[in-house]
Structure 1
Amino acid sequence: MEINIVYSFFLIFSGAAVLASVALFTRQPLILAYIVLGALVGPYGLSLINNFGLLADISEIGIIFLLFLLGLDMQPKALLHVLRKATLVALLSSLVFAAIGYVIAIVFGFTSYEAMIVAIAATFSSTIIGIKLLPTTVLHHRHVGEMVVGLLLVQDLIAIVALLILAAGDEGISVMNLGKTFLALPILIGVTFLAVKYVLLKLFSKFDRFHEYVFLLAIGWCLGVAELAKAMGLSLEIGAFIAGVTIATSPIAQYIAESLKPLRDFFLVLFFFSLGASLNLGLLPNIAIPAILLSLVLLAAKPATFYGLLRTMKEDKKTSWEIGFRLGQISEFSLLIAFLAASKAMIGESASVLIQATAIIMFMLSSYIVVLNFPSPIAISDKLRRD
């Protein structure tokens, strides 16, 4: 039986309110409550909601707004400086994490092809966790935020190449297609900066007293650039981030950021719910040991690897450790890679569930580590709570 969207929203947000209350009373991260709720009422739990695919599509808007708001807080010159340092760190760390994923998958009897997919999935860190737990408005914390964002953006580009290769499958992917993808980025940046300079800022300036119009124009710009990026072979997330950066120097950027935060949080609840709902609980016993081992090894290796590489880039010890722990999980891109590979029969369902389970375990454990030890908007300690 198909359940209507209103009833689905009732179950999700009423249930999230109840579990979030329990989480706060027991001093647990709120993200955990949303994931657990998805597992409980989703198709592999009580099956109270069976249209979670639609909800998962809707929830991606939360990630888009998250990146857009982050872009609003970053100045273009500072971002370019950070990217120069982040590129080498992201590339070298990706090789280390891929090797760990490949070796563990082989040890537990997965095929070499499945091990390669697991290796790719282990490479990236979560944009949504890394940024959701980042206090973006604290000035003395800005450098950590810039480095985290720089590393995530480079990983995003690597993930796009991986997805292009997987989507091509046995047909292979041409050098021309890869070239188009990397050429698309500077073209998109150039087009958006020109559009902001000659159109968007003039509209904001002329009609800034109409708050509803500013709100609508900001949403339209964010989603429009995101869709343009996707059409050019990039990702929605990269497009949304560029949309934010292009108007970061505008005086109205701070007002837009404050206006969109409630909308962002609404969709992020849906994202974490859909993450829990997508996990096939029936297959967990079969992959529990490799998933737990892979999670724990990566949880230890990611902070240590980032720390070592960042120290060679002259970052101080405290900053290097903090960045490493904030990026100490695998990515929502990993879930997309698992889905795409499974849909093309490149990997079996057990390998797909291994990636999903590892992602969820690492999301939860990494969130605990950050929330308990570093400043974040949802920190349990009043001392560490920052927005």
Structure 2
Amino acid sequence: MPQDIVFSFFLIFAGALVLATIALYTRQPVLIAYIALGAIAGPFGMGWIEHPDALNDMAHIGIIFLLFLLGLDMQPSALIAVLRKATLVALASSLVFFACGFGITSALGYSQTDALIVGLALMFSSTIIGLKLLPTTVLHHKHSGELMVGLLLIQDVIAILTLILLGVMQGTSDIPVWQPFVALPVLVGGCYLVVKMILLPLIRRFDRYQEYLFIMAIGWCLAVAEGARAIGLSEEIGAFIAGVTLATSPIAQFMAISLKPLRDFFLVMFFFTLGAGVNLGMLGDVLLGAGLLAAAVLILKPITFRVLLGRFSERSGLAWDVGFRLGQISEFSLLIGFVALESALLSERASLLIQATAIITFVISSYIVVFNYPNPIAVSDRLRRD
């Protein structure tokens, strides 16, 4: 029987309302409520939503809008300056996290190929968790916000190259490894010209029509995201470039404010589908390994970022702040596991190991940030910053 999309939406948002209310009363992060709802209502829980994969594409739109909004609030000059520093830190930290994941997975008795892919999955931190829990004032106006965005963008580029390499290993990728490096500057230059020659004149002429500006923002974001995917990059990188190239517009802030409710709508779906995708029946088989990997991630990532950022004269407090906010694995990690599993490069047990590690690190790192650092969903008035 086809899944009823209206019933799915009812279950997701009515259920999210109930569990989020309980979470707030018990002083828990609301993100945990969305993940728990997915586990309860998904195919491995009560089975109320049997095919959560059908919602994945819509949930992915939330990530695209999130990156677009980030771009709208970042001036190109500031981005270039922070990327110089972030590139070295991102590359060095990725090597450390890969070695950690590979070593632990090998010691647990997994195959060398499984250990290789799990190591690759551990290299990245979550764009959604990291940026969702960052106050807007920090994200838009503070050095720590710019630094986090720079690190996450470099990680996204590494993740794209990893996905291409997995395709090459299986013989299913038609994209050469060098293509993203050529495609990125081409996309940036093309977007800059379109904004300067077409979009800015249109904005100046029709800036009184708010509905038109809203449609323009969505259309531009998704057009560049699709263009990026067509030339071998990710939709997320395309959306961010769309935002950065439009950031010089005088109405960039209006576009950002008008799109925030739409972004939050899709992000709720993202966390729901994340929880719904966990096979609770097989969880016991990988719980020990996932616990060890999660502990390594939660401890090693903050320390690594603290040491590496400290070498670039960053303040100790800022370095720890960034390290804890990036102290989890990524939605890209889940994608790498999925692609490798579909290509028969990864065992089902190792795939579940990645999923379980992601859930554990998402939950615990969210708790660490929500209860210790300024964030928009803090249960303490002292730490709540919108």
* Gap regions ≥5 residues in structure 1: none
Q: Cα distance 1:228–1:139, how it changes in 2: closer, same or farther (>3 A)?
A: closer
Is 1:2–1:51's contact at 8 Å kept on the other side of the alignment? no
How is 1:60-139 mapped onto 2 (pairs within 5 angstroms)?
Answer: 60-138=60-138
Show CA shifts across 1:128-179 (max 9, x none): 11111111334896111100000000000100000001122343879x8122
SS across alignment from 1:137: helix
Question: C-alpha separation between the residues in 2 aligned to 1:140 and 1:67?
Answer: 13
Conserved 8 A contact 1:136-1:142: no
Partner of 2:279: 280
Partner residue in 1 for 2:303: 304
Correspondence for 1:346? 345
CA spacing shift, 1:138–1:324, aligned 2, 3 Å = closer
2:151 corresponding residue in structure 1: 151
| d(CA) in 2 for partners of 1:313, 1:137 | 24
Tell me the equivalent position of 2:179. 180
Distance 1:140 1:166 in 2: 35
TM-score (norm 2): 0.98
Q: Corresponding residue for 1:28?
A: 28
State the percentage of identical aligned residues: 61
**Match in the other structure for 2:223:** 224
Matching residue's letter, 1:13 = F
Does the 8 Å CA contact 1:184/1:232 hold for their aligned counterparts? yes
1:152-167 aligned at under 5 Å gives the runs: 152-167=152-167
- Letter of the aligned partner of 2:290 in structure 1? A
**1:98 CA displacement:** 0.4
**Residue 208 of structure 1 contacts residue 214 of structure 1 at CA under 8 Å; is this kept in 2?**
yes
Matched residues in 1 for 2:11 and 2:113: separation? 39
Matched residues in 2 for 1:46 and 1:140: separation?
Answer: 41
Deviations 1:58-109 (A, max 9, x none): 1000000000001111110000000000000000000000011011111111
Q: Is the CA contact 1:125–1:330 (under 8 Å) kept in the aligned structure 2?
A: yes
Q: 1:14 matched to which residue of 2?
A: 14
State the distance in 2 between where 1:4 and 1:110 align.
Answer: 40
TM-score, normalisation: structure 1: 0.98
* 2:282 is aligned with 1:261: no
Contact 2:165 2:177 in 1 (8 A): no
2:365 matches 1:366? yes
1:77–1:52 Cα change, 3 Å:
same
Provide the C-alpha distance between the structure 1 equivalents of 2:137 and 2:218, rounded to a whole number of angstroms: 21
Matched, 1:210 2:203: no
Partner of 2:176, secondary structure, is: helix
Whether the 8 Å CA contact 1:70–1:136 is kept in 2: the answer is: no
Distance (Å, rounded) in 2 between the aligned partners of 1:320 and 1:141: 17
Distance across 2 between alignment mates of 1:311 and 1:139: 20
1:138–1:386 Cα contact (<8 Å) kept: no
Residue 314 of structure 1 aligns to a residue whose secondary structure is: coil
Q: Structure 2: which 5+ runs fail to align?
A: none
CA-based RMSD: 1.3
After the TM superposition, list the runs of 4 or more consecutive aligned residues in structure 1 that deviate by more than 6 angstroms: none
Kindly indicate whether residue 173 of structure 2 is the aligned counterpart of residue 197 of structure 1: no
Residue 5 of structure 1 aligns with an amino acid whose one-letter code is I
